[in-house]
Structure 1
Amino acid sequence: MDRNTFTGLFLIMIIIAGSVWLLKPTPEQIAKEKAVQHQDSLKRAGIKAPAATTTIDTGKIANKPVDSAALKSPFGATLNGSEKLITIENADLRVKLTTRGGRIYSVELKNYKTFDKKPLVLFDGDQNKFGFSFAAGVSNVNTNERYFTPSAAGLQVTGKDSSSITMRLSYSPTQYIDYIYSLQGEGYKVGLTIKAIGLDNVIANSSSINLNWESNLLRLEKSIVLDRTYSYIGYYNTDKDYDYFGDTKDDQKDIADKKLQWVSFKQHFFSSVLLTKDGFAKSSLSVSTDTSNHTDIKTLKANLTLARSSDGTFPLDFYFSPNQYKTLAAEGNGFEKQINLGWGPLKYINRVAVIPVFNVLTQFNWNYGFIILALTVILKLVLSPLTYKSYLSMAKMRVLKPEMDEIKAKVGEDNPTLLQQEYLKLYKKAGVNPLGGCLPLLLQMPIVIAFFRFFPGLFELRGQGFLWMHDLSTYDSIVNFGFSVPFLGDHLSLMCLLMTVSTLIYTYFNNQISGVSGQMKYIGYITPIIFLGALNGYPAGLNYYYFLANMFTFLQQYIIRLMVDDKKIHAQIQENKKKPEDAKKKKSGFAAKMEEMMRQQQQLQAKKEK
C-alpha cells in the first residue's frame, strides 16, 4: 500500500468524522430525551406520577350459547354472562381486563410505538389465554371460559398512587374466587392475588392450582426474521439459574425437578414475565411458529402448577416491560438475564466491560450514532497493542517471503511435510513466530463476537436514527425487492453493503501487508461476501460498528506503517540468524510440538516410499 492510498483513506475518515459531528439529533429524538429527563427530574424532586386509574367499558361482546346441562354443573352459572372490558392504567401501562375469564385481555406500553408508529400492544384478544383449571365435583372447571363480576369495592383507588380491581367468580354468595389486580402509579408491574373463599369442600386438592398461560406474540419490529429469532421462552429457577429455548426452532420442555421463580414470554425488545415468590412446582413450556402468519411472531404456552402460600392466597406478579438492561436490572429477580449477551466469556465481556462503558457514554446525551463511534474508538485504542503486534509479525513474514520462495523452489511442492519443516528452521533462525500475526487477532475475536451479541439486543437503539438510517435497531434498506431473493432476503441494506465493501478493501490491503499468496489470498474475499448475506437483515447499528471498525483499522495501519521500517526488520532478522542457538529465544511449547509432528510425518512418508 503506497502513501497516496493511505492518505486517501485518512481523508475519507476525516470527512466521515466531520459529517458525524456536524449532524444533530432529530426533533423527535430531542423530544423523547426531554420526556425522559422530565420523568427523571420528577423523581429527583420527589413528585409522584399521577395515580393509576380504573375505567369500565360498558360495551358488550356477544356471548356464546351454553347448553342447559352445563349450567347445572359446579360454577355453571358463570358460563353465562356479558363480556366487559375494564381498563387500569398508569404512566407506563394500559392494561385491559375482561370479565370473560377475569384475565388480562391486552397490554399496551404507552411510551412506545411499533415500527410502523402504531400503539405498542404486546398481546390482544381471545387468542391469548390465562386461566386456572381444577376439579369441582365430577366437573373440570377452566376459569378462562367463565364470566367474572367486577366488585364494586374493587373499582376504587386503594391509595394515593395505586389502584386495584377485584374480579369475582361466584359459586355462591359466600363461596367464590377473587382475582385482585393492582397497579402502581408508574412502573411495569401488575400484581395479581388469587383468593379462594369457602371452597375447600368444592375444589379437589385446593392446596394447588394449575395455571394455563398462552400468548400469540404480535409483530412489533420491522424485521420479522429478527423478531422471531429473539423471541422465546425464558425461565429462572429458585436456584437463580436462567435458561431459555425456542429461539431457533419450535420446542417443548417439561420441568419438574426444580421450581421456577418466573417464566418469561420474551420478544425482541419487550417481554411479559409471570413471577411467584414461592416458585412454580411443575412446568410444561412450549414454543410454536406459523411462518405463514405475518402478524403473529410465535405462540408461547406455559402450564404451571402454583401452590397456595402461607396466608391462603396464590400471589403472582406480571411484568410487562422493555428489554432494556438497566430497567430489567432495576426490577431485580434476575430479569436482566433475559437479554442474551452471548455464551461463556462473551457474556462477561459485555456485562463487565461493554455495558458499563456504554452507560457512561449515554450520559452525554449524544446521538447513538456518536456513541457507537466513541465505543469503536475506545475499543480500537484498547486493542491497539495487539493490532501493532499483529502488523509487526505480518511485516516480518513479508520480509521473509523471498527466502521462503527460494526454499519452496529447492524442496518443491510435492513434499509438503519437508517444506513445512524447512520453513520452521527458517523461522527459528530468523527469530520469527509464524503464528505471531494470528494470535493477536484470535485474542481480539471474543471482543468482536461479543459486540455481535451486544448490538442486536440493544434496546437503546430502537427508534434512534442516524444519517440515512431511520432506526439503528433494524436494517436500513435502500432496495426492497418485494419478494425473497436467495442469500439476501427481500431487501438490500446500505450500511451492510458499505461494511462489506470496506471489508473487501481491508482484506486486499491486508494481503499486501502480510504477503499472503496462493489460495489463501482469495479465501479472505469469500468471508465478507458471506457476511453480506448473513448480516443484511441485522441492525444497521451493528453494520455501522463493523464499518467504523474497518475504517479505524485503516487509520491504525497507516500510523503503524509510519512506525515500522521493513529495512530495519530485515536487518534485525539477519542479526538473529548470526546469533548462536542458545542465545536465541527459547522455542515455545507449541513450536516444539509442531516441529516434532513434522518430523514424525516425514518419517512416516519415508517409510511409505520404501
Structure 2
Amino acid sequence: MDRNTFTGLFLIMIIIAGSVWLMKPSDAEIAKEKALQHQDSLKKAGIKPNPATAKLDTTVKTAAPAFDSAALKTPFGSTLAGTQKLVTLENKNLRVKLSNRGGRIYSVELKNFKTHDNKPLVLFEGDKNKFGFTFAAGVASVNTNDRYFTPSAENLTVTGKDSSTISMRLSYSATQYIDYIYSLKGEGYKVGFTIKSTGLESVVANQGSITLNWETSPKKLEKSITLDREYTMIQYYDTNEDFDYIGDTKDNTKEIADKKMQWVSFKQHFFSSLLLSKDGFSKSSLSVSTDTSNHTDIKQLKANLTLARSADGTYPLDFYFSPNRYKILAAEGHGFEKQINLGWGPLKYINRFAVLPVFDFLTKFNWNYGLIILALTVILKLVLSPLTYKSYLSMAKMRVLKPEMDEIKAKVGEDNPTLLQQEYLKLYKKAGVNPLGGCLPLVLQMPIVIAFFRFFPGLFELRGQSFLWMNDLSTYDSFINFGFTIPFLGDHLSLMCLLMTISTLIYTYFNNQISGVTGQMKYIGYITPIIFLGALNGYPSGLNYYYFLANMFTFLQQYIIKLMVDDKKIHAQIQENKKKPEDKKKKSGFGAKMEEMMRVQQQAKVAAPKKGK
C-alpha cells in the first residue's frame, strides 16, 4: 500500500463516518416517518383513521372507558364496568402483580436484584402492557384486555416448597366463565398460567384455538440505554429446536406460519420475560419497534400467538421471568440458554466449552470479579504462549532479513513490484523464512479475541460487580461526563477504555520495532486503536479491562521472549540455511504457488510491449 492509496482510504473512511453522522434523521423525522407508516398500514387494511386520534398517545389512561347502557346488555357486558385493583402473587424470587382489568400480569419485580441506580428491578409495569385475546360471543366482539375479572383471592405469599394459585374469572353467568389460573411455587422464576373455559360452548364459537395478544414495553434497567436497546429483542425457539430472533439492530416484523413456536421471549440485556407452550404456537406474528424519544422504556415488543386447545379443554402455558444467567436458563431446559448470545460459528463453542467452564471454576474461589478476569487472562495467555513465541520469532527473522531486502529493493527498484516480490520470495526460500509466520499465529488467536467480545457484554455475573474505580463491570465507567454528546465518542469518556487504547498504541509501537516494518504500513496499526476508542467507549468496563490486561501480558511475554531470542543466532541460522542444497530445503506449497504466479506475471509484463508492436 503506497502513500496515495493509504491517504485515499483514510479520507474515504472519514467522509463515510461524517456523512452517516450528518445525514442521520432527527427524532422528529423518525417519529413522522413512523406515523406515516402507521397511516399506510391502516389504509391497506381498509381502516380510516380518525383525525382526532391519529396522533400517537403516550399517556397512560387509568379511567374506565365510556360505554352506553346497550353495551351492558351484550354477552359479558357486565364485565365492562369496574375499578382496577391489583393482587400480588409473591415467592422468594418474584413479586408478580395481577390486575383485575384484563386479568393479566400488571408488573413483575425480581426481588433479589436492583436497577443500576439501586431501585427495585421491575421488568415492566403499567397499562401499556397487554395480554389477552379477542373472541366472538353472539354479535359482540369481546377483548379480554378491556374486561374486568374477579380474583379468587387477595394477595398471596408462597414460601418453601409450597405452590399456590390465584384465578381471575371473566363471568358470563354463575356457571359460564373463563378463568385465568396463575400458579407459583415457593422459589424459582416460573409462573404457571392456564386459560380455562367452562360452560361457554353455546356462547363462544370456535374454541378450538385462540390468538393471544402479548405486548410489553420493557423498562430501562441498566446504565447504558444504548446497550440496553442493542440487547433487547424478541427471541423464539420452535419445536424442531431451531432458534432465531428479530429486532436486535433495527425495528422489524415477522410472520411465522410454517413452524410451531415452543416459546417466545421478550429478552432484555440481563433479564427476560418468556412465554412457553409445550404444544407449541401454530402461528406467530412478532414485532419490535423503538421510540427513541422515550428514555424510560427500551423498546416496544409485540407478539400475536395462536394456541390450540388441549385435550382437557384448557390452554396450558408457562411464564418465566428470570435473569439471563447461563446456569439458571440451562437448568430450566427447553433450550432457554440459547437466549444468551455466545457468538456465531466456532466462537459459540469456544465460549461455551472453554471460556464458560474456566470462568465458572474460578468463581468457586469467591474472588472479586476483577481478579477472576485477571486469572482468566493469565490462563489464556499461557495457553496461547506457543503461538506468541512463534509469531515473535518469525518477526525477528524478518527484521534480520531487512538489510538484505533493502539491498534487493535498491537493485530492482520500486517501479517493478512483481519482480521485487519475486526476488523477495527467493530470499525467503533461501533463508528458510516464512513471511506469513508472524501473521498466522495472530490470525489463529483472533477467534478467541472476538469470542471474548461477545462473552463479556452478555455475562450476567459481572452485573453490579465493582473493581477499583469501576462501579459496575457490566457497563462503562464514566470517568468524565461531558454533559453533551460528542460525535464518535458519546457523552462520556471511559477511563478503562482510554487505558486500553493507550496500551494498544504502545503495543503497536513496540510491535513495529520487533517486525521492522517501515513506510505507510508503519502507521496503519495506529488507526485501529483510535477507532476502538470510539467503538468501545460505551461498552462494559469488564471487556476493556480484559483487553488492557491482554496487552499488558503481551508486553511481558515479548520481554521474556526477547531475552530468549538472539538476533545474532538467528542471522547465523539464516546464513546456514542459505548454504543448504536447494532440494534439502523445505518447500512450501503456498510459497511455490506464489513464486509461480509472480513468474507468470513477470513474463506477461515483459511480453506486453512486444505484443503491442
Scaled by the length of structure 1, what TM-score is found?
0.88
- Give the counterpart letter for 2:238 in structure 1: N
The answer to whether the aligner puts 1:384 opposite 2:385 as a matched pair is: yes
- Tell me: higher relative CO, structure 1 or 2? Use CA pairs within 8 A at least 6 residues apart: 1
- Give the counterpart letter for 1:609 in structure 2: P
Cα distance, 1:446 vs structure 2? 0.2
- Give the counterpart letter for 2:274 in structure 1: V
Instruction: Assess if the C-alpha contact under 8 Å between 1:157 and 1:164 holds in 2.
Output: no
Instruction: Assess if the C-alpha contact under 8 Å between 2:247 and 2:288 holds in 1.
Output: yes
Matched residue, 2:530: 529
Cα distance, 1:172 vs structure 2? 1.4
CA deviation string 1:348-375 (max 9, x = no partner) = 0000000000000000000000000000
Cα distance, 1:160 vs structure 2? 6.0
The separation in 2 between residues aligned to 1:354 and 1:155, in whole angstroms, is 42
Alignment of structure 1 residues 501-512 onto 2, 5 Å? 501-512=502-513
Matched residue, 1:478: 479
Instruction: Say which SS state the counterpart of residue 373 (structure 1) adopts.
Output: helix
Matched residue, 1:435: 436
- Give the counterpart letter for 2:163 in structure 1: S
Matched residue, 2:593: 593
Alignment of structure 1 residues 53-452 onto 2, 5 Å? 62-152=63-153, 161-452=162-453
The separation in 2 between residues aligned to 1:79 and 1:173, in whole angstroms, is 17
Cα distance, 1:606 vs structure 2? 2.5
Instruction: Say which SS state the counterpart of residue 557 (structure 1) adopts.
Output: helix
Instruction: Assess if the C-alpha contact under 8 Å between 1:135 and 1:141 holds in 2.
Output: yes
Instruction: Say which SS state the counterpart of residue 547 (structure 1) adopts.
Output: helix
The separation in 2 between residues aligned to 1:336 and 1:286, in whole angstroms, is 22
Cα distance, 1:155 vs structure 2? 6.8
Cα distance, 1:604 vs structure 2? 2.9
Instruction: Say which SS state the counterpart of residue 217 (structure 1) adopts.
Output: coil
Matched residue, 1:567: 568
Instruction: Say which SS state the counterpart of residue 310 (structure 2) adopts.
Output: coil
The separation in 2 between residues aligned to 1:61 and 1:303, in whole angstroms, is 24
Cα distance, 1:62 vs structure 2? 4.0
Cα distance, 1:161 vs structure 2? 1.5
Cα distance, 1:99 vs structure 2? 0.2
CA deviation string 1:56-77 (max 9, x = no partner) = xxxx964232222322222121
CA deviation string 1:271-311 (max 9, x = no partner) = 00000100000000010001111111100000000001122
The separation in 2 between residues aligned to 1:334 and 1:478, in whole angstroms, is 39
Matched residue, 2:462: 461
Matched residue, 1:17: none
Closer/same/farther in 2, CA of residues 277 and 295 from structure 1, 3 Å limit: same
Instruction: Assess if the C-alpha contact under 8 Å between 1:254 and 1:283 holds in 2.
Output: yes
CA deviation string 1:200-259 (max 9, x = no partner) = 222221010010000001100000100100111100000111111111000011111110
Cα distance, 1:159 vs structure 2? 9.6
Closer/same/farther in 2, CA of residues 65 and 158 from structure 1, 3 Å limit: farther
The separation in 1 between residues aligned to 2:300 and 2:608, in whole angstroms, is 62
- Give the counterpart letter for 1:327 in structure 2: I
Over the aligned positions, Cα root-mean-square deviation in angstroms equals 1.6
Instruction: Assess if the C-alpha contact under 8 Å between 2:92 and 2:159 holds in 1.
Output: no
Instruction: Say which SS state the counterpart of residue 542 (structure 2) adopts.
Output: helix
The answer to whether the aligner puts 1:558 opposite 2:562 as a matched pair is: no
Cα distance, 1:81 vs structure 2? 1.4
The answer to whether the aligner puts 1:520 opposite 2:521 as a matched pair is: yes
- Give the counterpart letter for 1:310 in structure 2: A
Matched residue, 1:48: none
The separation in 1 between residues aligned to 2:524 and 2:157, in whole angstroms, is 70
Matched residue, 2:580: 579
The separation in 2 between residues aligned to 1:114 and 1:419, in whole angstroms, is 62
Closer/same/farther in 2, CA of residues 155 and 369 from structure 1, 3 Å limit: closer
Instruction: Say which SS state the counterpart of residue 297 (structure 1) adopts.
Output: coil
Instruction: Say which SS state the counterpart of residue 207 (structure 2) adopts.
Output: coil
Cα distance, 1:491 vs structure 2? 0.3
Closer/same/farther in 2, CA of residues 580 and 157 from structure 1, 3 Å limit: closer
Cα distance, 1:198 vs structure 2? 1.2
Closer/same/farther in 2, CA of residues 131 and 243 from structure 1, 3 Å limit: same
Instruction: Assess if the C-alpha contact under 8 Å between 2:159 and 2:187 holds in 1.
Output: no
Gaps of 5+ in 1: 1-59
Gaps of 5+ in 2: 1-60
The separation in 1 between residues aligned to 2:403 and 2:365, in whole angstroms, is 53
CA deviation string 1:510-539 (max 9, x = no partner) = 000000111110000000000000000000
Scaled by the length of structure 2, what TM-score is found?
0.88
Instruction: Say which SS state the counterpart of residue 169 (structure 1) adopts.
Output: strand
Matched residue, 2:491: 490
The separation in 2 between residues aligned to 1:443 and 1:373, in whole angstroms, is 22
Instruction: Assess if the C-alpha contact under 8 Å between 1:133 and 1:142 holds in 2.
Output: yes
4+ residue runs over 4 A deviation? 152-160
- Give the counterpart letter for 2:442 in structure 1: L
The separation in 2 between residues aligned to 1:156 and 1:584, in whole angstroms, is 79
The separation in 2 between residues aligned to 1:253 and 1:215, in whole angstroms, is 17
CA deviation string 1:465-490 (max 9, x = no partner) = 00000000000011111111011000
- Give the counterpart letter for 1:593 in structure 2: K
Instruction: Assess if the C-alpha contact under 8 Å between 1:134 and 1:210 holds in 2.
Output: no
Instruction: Assess if the C-alpha contact under 8 Å between 1:496 and 1:540 holds in 2.
Output: yes
Matched residue, 1:608: 608
- Give the counterpart letter for 1:102 in structure 2: G
The separation in 2 between residues aligned to 1:152 and 1:381, in whole angstroms, is 61
The separation in 1 between residues aligned to 2:324 and 2:413, in whole angstroms, is 60
- Percent of aligned positions with the same letter in both sequences? 83
Instruction: Say which SS state the counterpart of residue 472 (structure 1) adopts.
Output: coil
- Give the counterpart letter for 2:280 in structure 1: G
